[in-house]
Chains A and B, each alone.
Chain A
Amino acid sequence: MDERHTMETVLEETRTQPMKPHALPPRATPPTQVRPADADAKPKTPSLADERIVLEVQKFNLWYGSSQALHDINLKFPMGKVTALIGPSGCGKSTLIRCINRLNDLVDIIRIEGDMLLNGKSIYGRDVDVIELRKRTGMVFQKTNPFPMSIYENVIYPLRIDGENRRKILDEVVERSLQRAALWDEVKDRLQDSALQLSGGQQQRLCIARAVAADPEVLLMDEPCSALDPIATGKVEELIYQLRGYYSVMIVTHNMQQAARVSDYTAFMYLGKVIEYDATEKIFTNPSKKQTEDYVTGRFG
């Protein structure tokens, strides 16, 4: 029970604008490893060995028709942390992240091998309910995609499709989600307006609010800032930084500064393979592979 308290404390410190405490929800599976409250100076370089693992990718291979896009991916994503996937275009980052909520099922020509385990349970097993899986893994896309409805309806979309109609619960979810997405203050007076009237940055934060509305365990972000201007990008980055602890975030990005700013761990991918995966600080300051060093220093890619 004190984990919650700890989380709040952490958030108080990392946030520029304090979030109202009542907006904090109880977690279904609270992360055990949260950064200690007194470690806001520079924490020691974290190590994967200390983390609880939320998602494990095991020997994952993927083919588009006859060309292989992912080769033997083995990755462990820590719970409650932000993990960045970086790499040049076409290296398979987005493909990998879209496999986590099985969005690639929609593409006919894709064939996969291997498995992923979410909290120890297979994602690709035969008895897996894909819809249930997607509810546990929220996703934010590169292109902002608010639905053609009101801001309010956008946020509660995941609940609506579950048949949730109780006004009180919906109101609570809307306020909580929008506050987590740092959008509440901007839109609280016009929740019934069309979401399409928001600016690009607001739309993306609305998409984040929608992704977190169903309280997922994992939050997948596929280049969430690539269509945004620097100010909106800054806001979204700050938001991602705040969301750690609540959610295990996986973010695909082209922008290495962004990866360095927001993530705890970074995986560098190249041509469908994971070249190096370690704590972000290590990847950017002292990578163990030459390829990684070349990429993060801008010598190739």
Chain B
Amino acid sequence: MKPATSWGRLSADPHHVVGLNDPSRVKTLVCHGPQPGVAHGMGRSYGDISLNPEGTLWVTTGLDHFIAFDNSTGRLVCEAGVLLRDIQRLVIPRGWILPVTPGTQLVTVGGAIANDVHGKNHHVLGSFGDHVQNLTLIRTDGEVIQCGPHERADWFAATVGGSGLTGVITQAEIQLRRVAGPWLDTETVPYANLDEFFRLADDSEADWEHTVSWIDCITGGGGRGLFMRGNPTNAEDRSAPEGRKLTMPIVPPVSLVNRLSLRPFNMAYYHIKKWEAGRAITHYEPFFYPLDNLLEWNRMYGPKGFFQYQSVVPREVGQDAVQAMLKEIARSGDGSFLAVLKTFGNRQPVGMLSFPQPGVTLALDFPNHGERTHKLFERLDAIVREAKGRIYLAKDARMPRELFEAGYPRLAEFMKYRDRGISSGLSRRLMGS
């Protein structure tokens, strides 16, 4: 048994860790085990979706082999433990790119599918699952299921965003997208309040592929921020950024993100970035993955770890709901530094339990202060519930079961596809097994 943690570092419970390093042995290893297990990739989800305290973790990072890549069609086939980083580095020099990528490239393909991750271009290209053509699922009863949007589509819809609960994803085929090179034409626009944010978001959707914003949820009750947008561009003969890696070397005894530090952090960040605002040519790595060069940044929240609270609420009530959440946060005195506000496009997701839905999503991080933090979450939950929104499973470590059930109306349909030999902390907490 080894202690395993996820990105939020909220727990380090013992797990029976089994490496699935050889695809030909996966079936033997996951079938009819003594206790339920769950697949675990890079451990970049924040809560308990990839954990299974006292149970088995099937670690997929050894399934890191490419299987085929057709340069003329952009079809890539690879094992599920391949990192998005390795795909980007392989295909971008050949004129292709992952159509959808989340805010870190240090995740596995299997994890990207099981969480149906989204990126800054949701309004144009949807989520990760929209680009998966086929996947291989190994069930713990030994059945091997090939599925995709046109083949056993029900299994595909259950597995994309299915939190790893329908079987172990071992292989996937992804349709990549043409790209001129690694550069983006980007613009940073400061905004003073939510009105301005929504106007910027609406104005940008037609002409910009990528949109996202950092929001200062402390200063003046929250609401100002920096809107970032970008389009792939053909900029030649530039040298790529050095990509110097820094590591957070220790876990500080208390969170470095706290009531004292947040106000100056936010103020400094806003003003420095405001000063730098405007157009630029930016390399894809700092644009898509701003934190990937700061290794183990999650340690800065101290030994008790931190929570992410990411919700999406429908557009009609979006502005009021976001305003109300910012108000609650301001009232609590705790705040979030890595606060991200983004609109989703008007499209239905592939997966039964996929997170994205038309509306606006707010992601917030909070150091774990126990009861005090949970009290704040209850107030935020009330706003999300009222707005008929939902919370992102990949980030969640604590939402109440009724909020999950209300937010994910296709849950009953999904349950038919669950694998009885698979269980996670999250599935026991929210689905009862």
Q: Do A and B come from the same complex?
A: no
Chain B interface residues toward A at CB < 8 A = none
